[in-house]
Amino acid sequence: MQIRNPASVFVAAAVIVASVAIAADHDDDAIEKFDQIDKFRQLEEILPTPNAYRTASGAPGHGYWQQRADYEIDVEIDDDNQRLTGHETIHYFNNSPDTLRYLWVQLDANLYAPDSDAALISTAPRFEKMRPRDIKRLLKRAEFDGSATIERVVDADGDDLPHTIVKTMMRIDLPEPLAAGATTTFSIDWSYTINRSDEVRGRTACEYFEDDDNFLYEIAQWFPRMAPYNDVRGWHNKQFLGRGEFSLEFGNYLVRITVPADHVVASTGVLQNPDDVLTPRQRERLEIASRTDKPVFIVTPDEAKMNESSRSGDTRTWVYAAENVRDFAFATSRKFIWDAMLHDVEGNPVWAMSYYPNEGEPLWSRYSTHAIMHTLDVYSKYTFTYPYPVAISVNGPVGGMEYPMICFNGPRPEEDGTYSKRTKYGLISVIIHEVGHNYFPMIVNSDERQWTWMDEGLNTFVQYLTEQEWEEEYPSRRGEPRNIVGYMRSTNQVPIMTNSESLLQFGSNAYAKPATALNILRETILGRELFDFAFKEYARRWQFKAPMPADLFRSMEDASGIDLDWFWRGWFYTTDHTDIAIEGVKVYEMKTGDLDEDSAISKAERDDEPESLSERRNRALAKRTERFPELLDFYNEFDELDVTKDDRRRFQRFLDRLEDDDAEYLGREERFYVVDFRNKGGLVMPLILAIEYESGRTEELRIPAEIWRKDNERVSKLLLANEPIVRIELDPHLETADIDLSNNTWPPEPVESRFRLYKDRKDKNPMQELEQKLEDDVALDDEDEEEQKRKGDGWR
Ligand SMILES: [Zn+2]
């Protein structure tokens, strides 16, 4: 028998200890207390204490504040040398209650200094798998210098401001402290060399097209940007090491982008001078695109093809303005095809637009702008109405990267225009993902440098919902619990709550696991109605503000009315996995209440008991009582299962003492099934049971995770049944990412899988091996190329 009650363990242990103490040989180890960690203890012991800035409800508090930075920028792209030169004026609003004596600015381009921390801390590659292209990148990266040259930092009067460059940041010392509520203005001139994607990859790059000798620029992290100053960390001080993305303040932008006169520019914001930069024909097509239900070409594929051979010596300046954005990016090339459509998003008219070279066709004109509009529709439903006037998807050298109103996406078809299924869905998915980032983190402005999961995880979750509304059976990679099982089983893991730079298995940790956890929270723990209300409330509360993890955890509980501390603790703070087993089932039936009937049943049961081996062999032996019958007496006749007079008297006395309503419960026919569960994976999760009865009837029982609240390793559950249960299955709909299904059924069932017979293979001789090796290399390369196209530098 298992001792279930911890109290009885205590009693037993106490007795042992007492006797040991008398023996004067005290041993603390003998005191075995119930030592399980309480997986339901509240999170407040690790979450920050709520305050006037961030409340216990997860909402911004009455004292919430955030800084603001407005930018006016002139930038020019030198197409001959792939250099960027800029001049910016920053208006910085100190909305904090603090006086600031210095400001910090981020210089992300310094990631590409040859001696940057990112370069120094990069660990050795694996030479076993080195390809020519890898060697090229490795050597080019070592010699490339893309760091920013800071030409000048001056105040509003044009006087030099003392400044100190600290790796990827710059401190500007103010002549006068900046008081709470005050504003300061300063300007920076800078320049840097843009990395070429075939040499040094990144979130920003230019791509060289050899056939037509043209460049396509995707420009991001390109201007000195204010580092955030907030109530949680003061000045941001996590340097840019490459993985952890960006932490930024909101503000308004006016940007004048000067490029070769035959370039087309796609940018964050709204074009302010269409009459200066667009042809009458393009403006006319835009007008048509404002009242159509299908995307319209503003620059057609043929026109873009013709532009490829143009070589204008002039420049043209495109002026863009953007309000309330946390960043600004643009793309420029003479190769761009451009399609557009004005799309209504819950009453907000939004220009959905795509820019891509002919190399993106025919995929891009078919899917890109549709994917943008679909993303805005579905994300708005689950969060808030898309607030910006523009949403753009650009094809270029960057595999997948997001900025306010604009994102860069890599997938392209083959040169002959055909494409694989993987490329098609890779393209639609990456556009949904990157456009979706407008919501997280461009508007719900979480700190990516600290927590990759806060934007990638939430965004991947809504990406999954959006993909599933694209078409029936959309091949989503992430979101379904069963797809996370391999990762949950793996050993080289860290909790989701780990800093962006220290993550292992980046994509699974920061994208797939939080997305799946949210999907499980929605489908299995809270249900769609409660979850959707709470998730929308979190997004609404933190729209254009900067949430921290605690604000998400608290908001979801506050708005759903459900304590989820155990869920956040298990899924976000540990590497536990789900593996719950049915360990055993016992069935109890009550006696009938009729002494003779019970006696008959007991005798029948005894008769059913198997005869032991010795009993069977002994049966043949000659017995002494057969030779001397006088040795037999009363007890040789008496059956102890017989009902005696005394039994009847006692039973009658028992009945006499029963209250009337107690008597009703005698001889009930219910069966009492006690099912023993064992939590082998560590995660406490609900028990979802499919119960099948002898008659063929089935029933589903959903038991909340709190059943584990007193013992998170073993629990037993009573099931009342009116008829025999023939089968019990745990997690029948694969909702909990249980990593071992072989222990999920009672009675146990064999694990079924099909295998194929193979022919004996002879070892190859060296000449054959050489042939084989060449084939393998070719296959490997194709695979890699495909992956490259689909993901570029990976989704970000
Ligand atoms: Zn992403």
What is the 8-class DSSP label of residue 95? Answer: -
Of 369-378, 421-430, 662-671, the poorest mean pLDDT is in 662-671
Is the per-residue pLDDT at 622 higher than 70?
yes
| Per-residue tokens: 671 | 């069966």
Q: Map 387-451 to HEC letters.
A: CCCEEEEEECCCCEEEECCEEEECCCCCCCCCCCHHHHHHHHHHHHHHHHCHHHHHHECCCCCCC
C-alpha 511 to ligand 1 mean position (Å): 8
Parallel, antiparallel, or unpaired for β 251-260 and 68-78?
parallel
State the pLDDT at residue 151.
97
Per-residue buried b or exposed e for 323-357, using 16+ beta carbons within 10 Å of the residue's own CB: eebbbbbbbbbbbbbbbbbbbebeeeebbbbbbbb
C-alpha 459 to ligand 1 mean position (Å): 7
C-alpha 434 to ligand 1 mean position (Å): 6
Is the per-residue pLDDT at 9 higher than 70?
no
Q: Give me the residues paired with residue 700 across strands.
A: 690
Q: Give me the residues paired with residue 160 across strands.
A: 154
CA distance 463 to 537: 18
C-alpha 427 to ligand 1 mean position (Å): 14
- Select from 455, 425, 420 the least CA-distant residue to 546: 455
C-alpha 440 to ligand 1 mean position (Å): 9
Q: What angle do CA 698, 701, 704 make, to 5 degrees?
A: 170
Of 85-89, 658-662, 716-720, the poorest mean pLDDT is in 658-662
Full DSSP string of 719-784 = EEESS-EEEEEESTT--S-BS-GGGSEES--PPP---------PPPPHHHHHHHHHHHHHHHHHHH
C-alpha 794 to ligand 1 mean position (Å): 9
C-alpha 217 to ligand 1 mean position (Å): 20
C-alpha 453 to ligand 1 mean position (Å): 9
Query: What is the tens place of the pLDDT at every residue in 380-428?
Result: 999 999 999 999 999 999 999 999 999 999 999 999 999 999 999 999 9
What is the 8-class DSSP label of residue 149? Answer: E
C-alpha 409 to ligand 1 mean position (Å): 11
- H or E segment at 307? helix 301-307
C-alpha 438 to ligand 1 mean position (Å): 10
Amino acid at 178: L
C-alpha 448 to ligand 1 mean position (Å): 10
CA distance 539 to 461: 13
User: What's phi and psi for 630, nearest 5 deg?
Assistant: -65, -10
C-alpha 466 to ligand 1 mean position (Å): 14
State the pLDDT at residue 27.
59
Query: What is the tens place of the pLDDT at every residue in 737-747?
Result: 999 999 999 99
C-alpha 53 to ligand 1 mean position (Å): 28
- Select from 96, 88, 90 the least CA-distant residue to 178: 96
C-alpha 103 to ligand 1 mean position (Å): 29
Domain ranges for the chain, please list them: 36-60+446-575, 68-249, 579-606+667-753
Is residue 732 within 8 A of residue 690, CB to CB? The reply is yes
C-alpha 286 to ligand 1 mean position (Å): 30
CA distance 654 to 649: 9
C-alpha 388 to ligand 1 mean position (Å): 19
C-alpha 192 to ligand 1 mean position (Å): 26
C-alpha 257 to ligand 1 mean position (Å): 26
Is residue 436 within 8 A of residue 379, CB to CB? The reply is yes
Termini Cα distance of the chain = 54
C-alpha 506 to ligand 1 mean position (Å): 11
State the pLDDT at residue 603.
92
Q: What CA–CA distances, in Å, run from 587 to 584, 664, 731? A: 10, 22, 22
Sequence-ordered alpha helix ranges (H) in 145-229: none
C-alpha 441 to ligand 1 mean position (Å): 9
Is residue 351 within 8 A of residue 390, CB to CB? The reply is yes
| Per-residue tokens: 142 | 């070592």
C-alpha 343 to ligand 1 mean position (Å): 24
Q: Using pLDDT thresholds of 50, 70 and 90, give the confidence band for residue 693.
A: very high
298: exposed, middle or buried (Cβ count in 10 Å: 0-12, 13-18, 19+): buried
Is the per-residue pLDDT at 321 higher than 70?
yes
C-alpha 70 to ligand 1 mean position (Å): 26
- Select from 407, 450, 452, 457 the least CA-distant residue to 432: 407
C-alpha 235 to ligand 1 mean position (Å): 25
| Per-residue tokens: 574 | 């540990």
C-alpha 432 to ligand 1 mean position (Å): 10
Q: Using pLDDT thresholds of 50, 70 and 90, give the confidence band for residue 786.
A: very low
Query: What is the tens place of the pLDDT at every residue in 485-541?
Result: 999 999 999 999 999 999 999 999 999 999 999 999 999 999 999 999 999 999 999
CA 353 to chain centre: 28
Same fold, 36-60+446-575 and 579-606+667-753: no
C-alpha 546 to ligand 1 mean position (Å): 18
More confident residue, 210 or 662: 210
Is residue 320 within 8 A of residue 330, CB to CB? The reply is yes
C-alpha 437 to ligand 1 mean position (Å): 6
User: What's phi and psi for 549, nearest 5 deg?
Assistant: -50, -40
Longest dimension (CA), the chain: 131
Phi and psi based region of residue 234 (left: phi greater than 0; alpha: psi -120 to 50; beta: remaining): left
C-alpha 236 to ligand 1 mean position (Å): 22
| Mean pLDDT, rounded, for 27-56 | 89
State the pLDDT at residue 774.
52
C-alpha 11 to ligand 1 mean position (Å): 55
Query: What is the tens place of the pLDDT at every residue in 464-493?
Result: 999 999 999 999 999 999 999 999 999 999
Q: Using pLDDT thresholds of 50, 70 and 90, give the confidence band for residue 26.
A: low
198: exposed, middle or buried (Cβ count in 10 Å: 0-12, 13-18, 19+): middle
- Residues 68-249, CATH architecture: Sandwich (2.60)
C-alpha 433 to ligand 1 mean position (Å): 6
C-alpha 424 to ligand 1 mean position (Å): 18
CA distance 143 to 51: 49
State the pLDDT at residue 661.
80
Is residue 160 within 8 A of residue 175, CB to CB? The reply is no
C-alpha 540 to ligand 1 mean position (Å): 20
3-class secondary structure, 56:
coil
- Select from 286, 277, 389 the least CA-distant residue to 332: 277
C-alpha 137 to ligand 1 mean position (Å): 24
C-alpha 517 to ligand 1 mean position (Å): 17
Of 51-55, 115-119, 769-773, the poorest mean pLDDT is in 769-773
Q: What CA–CA distances, in Å, run from 192 to 58, 113, 266, 302, 573? A: 42, 10, 21, 34, 41
Amino acid at 79: D
| HSE, side-chain direction, 13 A CA sphere, residue 63 | 11
| Per-residue tokens: 341 | 């459509």
Q: What is the CA radius of gyration of the chain?
A: 36
State the pLDDT at residue 668.
81
C-alpha 264 to ligand 1 mean position (Å): 26
- H or E segment at 90? strand 83-93
Is the per-residue pLDDT at 784 higher than 60?
no
Is residue 796 within 8 A of residue 409, CB to CB? The reply is no
C-alpha 507 to ligand 1 mean position (Å): 10
Separate counts of helices (H) and strands (E) for the chain: 21, 30
More confident residue, 182 or 766: 182
Domain range 579-606+667-753, CATH class: mainly beta
C-alpha 408 to ligand 1 mean position (Å): 11
| Per-residue tokens: 508 | 């699974």
Q: How many CB atoms lie within 10 A of CB 415?
A: 7
C-alpha 165 to ligand 1 mean position (Å): 29
Tokens 């017979």 correspond to what residue? Answer: 757
Sequence-ordered alpha helix ranges (H) in 347-400: 363-382
Query: What is the tens place of the pLDDT at every residue in 92-101?
Result: 999 999 999 9
C-alpha 168 to ligand 1 mean position (Å): 22
Q: Who contacts 600 (Cβ-Cβ below 8 Å, separation ≥6)?
A: none
| Per-residue tokens: 316 | 């043209």
C-alpha 793 to ligand 1 mean position (Å): 12
CA distance 724 to 696: 10
| Nearest 10 degrees: Cα torsion 30, 31, 34, 38 | -110
C-alpha 185 to ligand 1 mean position (Å): 33
What is the 8-class DSSP label of residue 526? Answer: I
Mean pLDDT, all residues of the chain: 92
CA distance 236 to 533: 32
Amino acid at 405: M
C-alpha 46 to ligand 1 mean position (Å): 27
Residue range 36-60+446-575 in CATH 1.10.390.10? yes
Q: What CA–CA distances, in Å, run from 378 to 453, 480, 535, 559, 704? A: 21, 18, 14, 21, 30
C-alpha 401 to ligand 1 mean position (Å): 7
